[in-house]
Amino acid sequence: MVDKARIEALVYETIDDVNEALEPSHRLEKSLSTPLLGPGSTLDSLGLVSLLVGLEQRLDQTFHRALNLAEELANPQGPFQDVSTLVAHIASRLS
């Protein structure tokens, strides 16, 4: 079974990295309800791609599994509504 708390921690570590490049008013909150895409999100497309690439690298280093999260961007019902949805999606893909 995949540890969702570990995935959540990796997402938050990646958010910290992305936030360093963002203006304070555009920084992401480290919360399960933080929107990543669509209404309420402070990320532009480059910011979202940076988040996904950084997260893919962390997941590969931690779980030794290469995931392509960006492939989900074409899916309008994809896992990027908020951090909680993304964590659940990653856990299901790693299971």
Question: For 24-83, what is each residue's pLDDT tens digit?
Answer: 999 999 999 999 998 899 999 999 999 999 999 999 999 999 999 989 888 878 899 999
Half-sphere exposure at residue 32, Cβ-oriented, CA atoms within 13 angstroms: 9
Q: Can you give the pLDDT at residue 54?
A: 97
**Hunting for tokens 């920084």 — which residue is that?**
27
Q: Can you give the pLDDT at residue 78?
A: 86
Interacting residues of 1 by C-beta distance below 8 A, sequence separation 6+? 95
Residue 2: pLDDT band by 50, 70, 90 thresholds?
confident
Nearest to 86 by CA among 14, 27, 24: 14
Q: Is the pLDDT of residue 1 over 90?
A: no
Q: Can you give the pLDDT at residue 77?
A: 81
pTM for the full model?
0.94
Which DSSP category does 37 fall into? S
Cβ(83)–Cβ(34) under 8 Å? yes
